[in-house]
Amino acid sequence: MSTPAPDPSRPLSVADEAALIHTCRQGDLEAFAPLYDAYVAPIYRYVHFRTFDKQLAEDITSQAFLKAMEGIRSYDARRGNFGAWLYRIARNTLTDHFRTHKPTEVIDETFDVPADDDATKEASIGVSLAQVRRELAKLDPLKREIILMRLWDGLSYREIAAITGKSENNCKVIFCRTLESLRSQLGPAMFLLLAFPIYHVTK
């Protein structure tokens, strides 16, 4: 017996999500559609904020969800919630993309991609955004990921810990220390551009 479709006008409850996952694991992949609808926006944002390329972000997001649907039987709720599992898949898919398409470049340097939206064409903002991204690109990859997941993706320390494999306390310490370092490097004005990801989104 298939799981009744949840009301699309409200967020998935924990019970709804668990029921849909169970149904998918039983072979009824039509139940994956509500899971996709619930998570596609945040996963897309996660990828977009690391590529600054709309088409590429859409492609990688699609690949990540296809991998999730095909591998849903491997999902184990005891190792973290479903959202964290999806973020890990998206993270790995993004890494695989850069390894495949930019084999002669250091993967960390691909973060420093210029945005081309109207706002960043204005000289003052464009220079500041470039400086913010240069400082982010200098960070150790784990530190940068924790900063972006906390500030730009809005994830909790528990979710970040599940994605990175670090403890919640370790993630919090890394975030606070790295944020303080960035604040001193960037200064108040440019630090605001880091804190508000909307400036980094391309149209």
Burial annotation 17-47 (CB, 10 A radius, 16+ → b, else e)? bebbbebbeeeeeebbebbeebbeebbbbbb
Going by C-beta distance under 8 Å and a sequence separation of 6 or more, which residues neighbour residue 93?
60, 63, 64, 67
Query: Residue 34 in contact with residue 5, Cβ under 8 Å?
Result: yes
Q: Which amino acid is at 155?
A: L
Lowest pLDDT segment from 21-25, 62-66, 134-138, 153-157: 134-138
- What pTM, to 2 d.p., does this model score? 0.75
Domain count for the chain: 2
Same-domain status, 94 and 119: no
Q: Is residue 144 a part of any domain in this protein?
A: yes
Structure tokens at 54: 């709309």
Q: Which domain holds residue 41?
A: 14-101
Weakest-pLDDT range from 5-14, 34-43, 44-53, 133-142: 5-14
CATH number assigned to the domain comprising residue 126 = 1.10.10
Evaluate if residue 35 carries a pLDDT over 80.
yes
What integer pLDDT is reported at residue 194 of this predicted model?
A: 79
Residue with the two structure tokens 């003052």: 124
Alpha-carbon distance 34 to 45, whole Å? 18
The gap from C-alpha 46 to its chain's centroid, in whole angstroms, comes to: 2
Are both 123 and 95 inside the same structural domain? Answer: no
Could you tell me if 91 and 154 lie in one domain? no
Calculated CA dihedral for residues 37, 43, 44, 45, nearest 10 degrees: 120
97 and 18 within one domain: yes
Q: What is the CATH number of the domain that holds 54?
A: 1.10.1740.10
| Spatial separation of the C-alpha atoms in residues 125 and 196, rounded to whole Å | 13
* Sequence letter at residue 173: V
- Which pLDDT tens digit goes with each residue over 73-83? 999 988 889 99
